[in-house]
Structure 1
Amino acid sequence: MRYFEVKPKGHSAHHSHRWEHEVFILDGHYLVECRDQEKRVGPGYAIFIPPNVPHCFKNVGDKTLKFLCFTPYEK
């Protein structure tokens, strides 16, 4: 599990991973781009990102976006 903060108008790079991950929004609003689709989400939302799927997160709110990211444990 990891904790992230993204400033207003900030965003992640468009990227993918070989593993799945889940994101849980604690505070703020963001736009998720995944599989050529966009969805606007806010506090309390959970998003599932499948493995090897390009995605990007953009803070579209006026305050800092705070979220948790969960990934599988690798030995």
Structure 2
Amino acid sequence: MTAAHDTHALDAMTAAADHHQVLLENDQVRVLDTRLPADERTPVHTHRWPATLYVMSWSDFIRRDADGNVIVDSRTWERQPAVGDALWLPPLTPHSVENIGNQELRLIAIELKSAEE
């Protein structure tokens, strides 16, 4: 049995459903297959739970806040994640992501609902 998708207007599955697919959802976790083709940008959305990310394919990206200000540019990182790497991501306030690389950015996100306050 799966829990209903979060109906918050900016939740990833509401505001950016074209780039997120639910693989599993219950009261404890939501597992998303996140895909962002090269040269695409997601609509503004949120992720209300912290998540572990598993890298399926990597491409540089820019994350912007809801006002369009750059908050992350992966090109500035000391090391680019490789396929098979795992990353930690805290909950994210409203943001968009633009794939500025030349291949698909694909991540499996395991959102931890039990970490909610």
Larger radius of gyration: 2
> What's the CA shift string for 1:12-55, capped at 9, x where partnerless?
2222243233333221213242665213154336241325x223
**Structure whose residues are more often strand by fraction:** 1
How big is the alpha-carbon RMSD for the aligned residues of Structure 1 and Structure 2?
Answer: 2.7
After TM superposition, the score normalised by the length of structure 1 is: 0.64
User: With structure 2 as the length reference, what TM-score do the two structures score?
Assistant: 0.47
Aligned residue among 43, 54, 58 for 1:24? 54
State the number of aligned residues. Answer: 73
Q: Distance in 2 between matches of 1:45 and 1:58?
A: 20
- Detail structure 1 runs of 4+ shifted over 6 Å in the superposition: none
Aligned partners of 1:72, 1:30: CA distance in 2, in Å? Answer: 25
Is 2:111 the partner of 1:71?
Answer: yes
Structure holding more helix per residue: 2
| Structure 1 portions without partners, runs of 5+ | none
Unaligned regions of 5+ residues in structure 2, if any?
1-30, 75-79
